[in-house]
Amino acid sequence: MRNRSIYIAFLFLLFNSFFITAQSDKQKALEAKRVKYQKELKQLNALLFSNKKEEKSVISLVEDLNYKVSVRRNLIKVTNDQANLLTREINANQNEISSLRDQLTTLKKQYAEMVVKSYKNKSEQSRVMFLLSSEDFKQAYKRLQYIKQYADYQKEQGDLIKAKTKKLQELNTDLLRQKKDKEQLVAENRIAKKELEKELKEQEKLMATIQKSMSSYTTKIKKKQQEIDEIDREINRIIREAIAESNRKAGKSSSSKGFALTPESKLIAKNFASNKGKLPWPVERGVVKIRFGTQPSPIDRTVPIKSNGVRIATAKNTQVKAVFNGEVSRIIVVKNGNPIIMLRHGNYITIYRNLSKIYVKKGDKVTTNQVIGEVFTNGQGETILGFAIFKDAKPQNPANWIYKM
């Protein structure tokens, strides 16, 4: 019966340790997300909201504010999730503390009874008499074993009381820490919600201004997208030409949709592909203002914004770095746009758009993190780098390639 009780207690402790580990892992994951959103908000404030001298366009202000609101909401949500998880952990700890206290009370009572019983029979004479009164040697041996087992059990109970007491103290300490952590999270969330309220009011005010002449803003958004589409078509044309040229040189059909690769190019492409998700950012610090793919305009949600790459907001005079070893395939100068650098990495292409300075020329070999240019800053103080990755002529989502994008 005693062994069965120990087995049940062991199973309980084992299950509880698994539960605590799972909760702890989830809490760590949530904390990592919270830190990420806090860092992103800090960068947003530094890169998009710190320059009060230049007057941004209303469109840019709305885009920036929408982005900030979405990050703030993510921060509030993950902080809520953390607080809720802590509440569950606190409740679990309180239940375990209550259970341990009951066990401790029972153990102490049993131990006290054993001590009293042991005291009454503690004399060596009574133990000897207990053994000598045995009917035979076998019974005497069994009685001797019983005395030893009883003494061991007393010691075991004493050790168990010590262990339970220590566990209870640890849980109480942990509970106090959890309650303090939860109070801090709740306080932080209260501040974040107040900031969100301010941002939503500002957003509402800006949108009210836009609504007065929505058609005019919609026209501007469409015109800007047309200019971007025109540059995208030019980049696609140049990539297709480069693919055709590589196939002609290799004696293959110029209609092939992929680059003809030399053994060296194949190795570069293989190394590039093996670094998927680990490539460095093309700028020292920045936030992704426009993500890859098609998304509705924050001004007029009926107007789609298409992006073959990402647009990264960064600081003035920011230098642009190559994300991998490669060769300068082309320096592109387009109408209604700033210079573009095209780097080739086997059958992969990386594009760096909206530059003010170029530090490389066609045919140059570049290495990872080598400075190749500088990002252009417009009259409103916006410094936006357009960055794209292509596999042959097919655009890739940079977020899948660049580390933690």
> pLDDT digits over 251-266, tens only?
888 778 899 999 999 9
pTM over 0.75: no
Please tell me which residue, 105 or 350, carries the higher pLDDT value: 350
- Please give the mean pLDDT across all residues of the chain: 86
pLDDT at 380: 84
Q: Express each pLDDT in 291-337 by its tens digit.
A: 999 999 988 889 999 999 999 999 999 999 999 999 999 999 987 78
pLDDT at 90: 83
Segment 329-349 shows an average pLDDT of 93
**pLDDT at position 160 over 90:** no
Q: How far apart are CA 111 and CA 150, in angstroms?
A: 12
**Residue 23, pLDDT above cutoff 70:** no
**Domain spanning 226-400: CATH 3.40.50.620:** no
What Rg do the C-alpha atoms of the chain give, in angstroms?
Answer: 35
pLDDT for 106: 81
Residue range(s) in the chain whose domain bears CATH number 2.70.70.10: 226-400
> What pLDDT is recorded for position 159?
75
Q: Which residue, among 309, 179, 171, has the nearest Cα to 232 in the 3D structure?
A: 309
The token duo for 101 is 């206290």
On the question of pLDDT at 345 being above 80, the answer is yes
Q: Is the pLDDT confidence value at 111 over 70?
A: no
CA distances (Å), origin 134, targets 121, 140, 142: 17, 5, 9
381/35 Cα distance (integer angstroms)? 28
Q: Between 11 and 300, whose confidence is greater?
A: 300
CA separation for the pair 309, 398 (Å, rounded): 6
Q: How high is the pLDDT of residue 325?
A: 97
